[in-house]
Structure 1
Amino acid sequence: MDDITGRLARRLRQEREARSWSLADLAERSNVSRAMISKIERGEASPTAELLNRLATGFGLTLASIFAEADPGLDPAAPRVARRAEQAEWRDPGTGYLRRNVSPPGAPALEIVEVQFPSGGRVVFDAYHETRIVQQLWLLEGAMELAVGDATFHLSAGDCLAMTLDQPVIFHNPGETPARYAVVLARPETRR
């Protein structure tokens, strides 16, 4: 088991146990089978981005927060630095897209993620959050198509799309080169 697979396994198990949920409880909330959750928690399966998003949504968390290492002892007002070498990276085994959590652990209010999305890649996040999560995607290189609900947006380098994660989202790189973008997420608010 590689380091990131082990960290994901521990993080998902900790989140589930902190809520006193059984595998069946999480399976029902996330629409992921108990068997698959068990394999992921034991480090026997490397989940895809779509599967991880469904699990994060089941917990009411962002995908970025699944990768973050929380330290409850941190003072939220204290300055901190996330050194490049210490930023968690993960490659989706299904599409090959690479995501890196840029934000320092425990940073208040926002999460920043960098994504390198391969040419022709497509990821579908059909699960959406019960809490209000606002996200901005700033395309740094390449081209992306995002379908947010029924609307499709064609983005070029420099474009920035703001959206609320309250409906399915499809990420697609129609270009012949990888795309690179930054995602900035506001911490969840309770949906009204």
Structure 2
Amino acid sequence: MVDNKSTMIDSNLNDRIARRVRDLRAARGKSLEALATHCGVSRSMLSLIERGESSPTAVVLEKLAAGLGVPLASLFDAPEPAAEPVSRLADQVSWRDPHSGYVRRNVSPSGVASPTRIVDVVFPPKARVTYESADRLPLVQQQVWVLEGTMEVTHGQDTYTLHAGDCLAMALDQPNGFHNPGSTDARYAVVLTTTSRS
């Protein structure tokens, strides 16, 4: 049985991502070809994403975000700023990575001039995601605060096992990965802060 509501949400999110990528690319004066080359994403895939005709994985979206110089979370922003600097739970949309099945929900209000973003993540048992992108400008600092379960987080050559209540701080300046070694969902909050280099 097809879940029409879920399909509609996925379609709306794909359209939102498409518009954000198009707008960010235009604002940076990059052609499709230039951004595709810079990100390591094929031109045809980028074109499908910008038309809302693809459900890209988190890994692909992270490559695009790095190439555009923004945190991954910003690709899910609403097209128009919120009327108030409040993000209501009922308005926070969730996105499921088609590869790993992890679900992310942007908690922070869209369109607010703040260098900080908060994301709520539910990560399925045994799932794994590895982000290849390394250094970016501006620099993004990230803290991962585990709320439930256990997560293994890799930053460069280092791997950290985090249990409920643990918090890891790291810069998004090296490849990083997330793995849930447990048999139940893990849930964690990600706090991202964009900083200028000194």
Using the size of structure 2 for normalisation, the TM-score is: 0.89
Q: CA deviation at 1:88?
A: 2.6
SS in structure 2 of the partner of residue 135 of structure 1: strand
> Deviation at 1:131?
2.3
State how 1:78-97 maps to structure 2 within 5 Å: 80-97=85-102
Partner of 1:170: 177
Structure 1 pair 63–81 and aligned structure 2 pair: CA distance change class (3 A): same
Q: Is the 8 A contact 1:130 1:166 kept in 2?
A: no
Match of 1:144 in 2: 151
Report matched runs for 1:44-123 at 5 Å: 44-69=53-78, 71=80, 80-107=85-112, 108-123=114-129
Instruction: Compute the displacement of 1:73 (Å).
Output: 9.3
2:130 matched to which residue of 1?
124
3-state DSSP class of the match of 2:17? helix
Aligned mate of 2:140, from 133, 140, 155: 133
What does residue 159 of structure 1 align with? 166
Structure 2 unaligned spans of 5+: 1-9
C-alpha spacing 1:164/1:70, structure 2 compared with 1 (3 Å):
farther
| Aligned residue in 1 for 2:5 | none
Match of 2:40 in 1: 31
**Secondary structure in structure 2 of the residue aligned to 1:2:** helix
| Local SS of the residue matching 1:120 | coil
Decide whether aligned partners of structure 1 residues 28 and 190 sit closer, same or farther in structure 2, where only a CA change above 3 A counts: farther
Q: TM-score, normalised by structure 1?
A: 0.92
CA-atom RMSD, angstroms? 1.7
Question: Share of identical aligned residues, percent?
Answer: 51
Are residue 41 (structure 1) and residue 46 (structure 2) matched? no
Counterpart residue type for residue 94 of structure 2: E
Aligned residues: 187
DSSP-derived class of the 1:133 partner? strand
- Rounded to whole Å, the distance in 1 between the matches of 2:140 and 2:13 is 25
